[in-house]
Structure 1
């Protein structure tokens, strides 16, 4: 019991220490931490192991223990059309994209239901890796009826905003989106691209987006790393 209490206190002290450090900074050595916290090495290692599993800390072979990457924060708020472009709340960091798969094919039953088209409808199907501040964050799978985006290529999904491209090239202004979020784990393919162990905690986003003419333009399923992504929301309480 006493060792569990010491481990918990050590964990809390390390978390407080991490809060004062930037992402990717080295922690003091085991000897220094044990001295500062007044604990044994086994107790320290048990506390550090827990924080490594949670993504708070990162071990690098032969180099030591470092603070984990900071989480990307996404405000949870309604999407909206503003002027002539579709806007979503901005999240932190420098966002980049890398197209992993680009193909055209028929919708099939499941995607047909999501997009409100026939199963034989030709779709553009894109899988891309979303990268923030140089580190992989999400794998997105985007589906768009081909008739809305003639001539689009895989490169078009790697630069700039997809919604801005839809407006400027195809005259499509997005109006609203229905989004659901649930907990999941990464599969082996996702884990490889996201650089996390297989079956790591993640968030699954399921998004259907319509334009100003109430047409379903896009259906996307995206898997975000659970250790690097955070959703923020503001709650307003009524007086009733």
Structure 2
């Protein structure tokens, strides 16, 4: 196992505390001087560790107030994880998600690989219709490890406060920090075409996403089908 530098050790300790729930979402971390004293490191070492946590979206700095554990509010959802806009639009539109189905199943080979669980392990499968301006523009097929999301119910999902990722965080302590995605062209099957208001075999965009947590563990496997007639996938890189 490789040796960690001082700031990497500090980052690891803070991350472990976050995973254990010592610092709940939205709560401020201790003042820098207090946390540095607790961890027996310099302010500079602590700041370097926190800088990386900020860069990774795990914590956020609020000017004049301190550093807080990131929450999945609507702003974070729209600007970090929601990427569908109207053609040539320069801003995102607030989404609405309607649950089509939630079923219990056993993991396929692909689900097991993406969620890093055993093939045949129990999973939840969800199908969502995502609406913009009251038009269904995307279908999400979501797979979740039942061990992480025990006792998930249709009622709980429908009546959640906030986004899906807020539900993961608030109810199950599973915080999505980042996602990795692959895009490909495809054709809409009969059911997807009906939901999206398309003819069968119409061209669509397929987005395959793994959403990961604080320790880079996969929390969600999602395959999304996007109607690109009036909408497109938006991505912005800052370098």
Q: Could you tell me which residue of structure 1 aligns to residue 71 of structure 2?
A: 85
Q: Deviations 1:186-225 (Å, cap 9, x if unpaired)? A: 1111001111111122110000011112221100000010
Q: Write the distance in 2 (CA, Å) between the matches of 1:144 and 1:189.
A: 22
Query: Unmatched 5+ residue regions in structure 1?
Result: 1-77
SS class of match (1:105): strand
Q: Write the distance in 1 (CA, Å) between the matches of 2:190 and 2:70.
A: 40
Q: Could you tell me which residue of structure 1 aligns to residue 5 of structure 2?
A: none
Structure 1 residue ranges, 4+ long, deviating more than 6 angstroms after superposition: none
The alpha-carbon distance between structure 1 residues 213 and 79, as it changes in their structure 2 partners (threshold 3 A), is closer
Q: TM-score, normalised by structure 1?
A: 0.60
Q: Could you tell me which residue of structure 1 aligns to residue 10 of structure 2?
A: none
Match of 2:224 among 222, 225, 238: 222
**Are 2:163 and 1:161 equivalent residues in the alignment?**
yes
Q: Could you tell me which residue of structure 2 aligns to residue 49 of structure 1?
A: none
Measured after TM superposition, the shift of residue 80 of structure 1 is: 3.8
Q: Deviations 1:133-180 (Å, cap 9, x if unpaired)? A: 111111100001011111212244445311111111111211221101
The answer to whether the Cα contact below 8 Å between 2:57 and 2:70 also exists between their aligned partners in 1 is: no
Match of 1:186 among 181, 185, 188: 188
The answer to whether the Cα contact below 8 Å between 1:85 and 1:174 also exists between their aligned partners in 2 is: no
Q: Write the distance in 1 (CA, Å) between the matches of 2:198 and 2:218.
A: 33
Q: Could you tell me which residue of structure 1 aligns to residue 96 of structure 2?
A: 96
Q: TM-score, normalised by structure 2?
A: 0.61
Write 1 or 2 for the structure with the bigger share of strand: 1
SS class of match (1:98): strand
Q: Write the distance in 2 (CA, Å) between the matches of 1:231 and 1:108.
A: 28
- Give the superposed CA RMSD: 2.3
SS class of match (1:196): coil
1:44-123 paired onto structure 2 within 5 Å: 80-81=57-58, 82=60, 83-86=69-72, 87-88=76-77, 89=79, 92-123=92-123
The answer to whether the Cα contact below 8 Å between 1:85 and 1:163 also exists between their aligned partners in 2 is: no
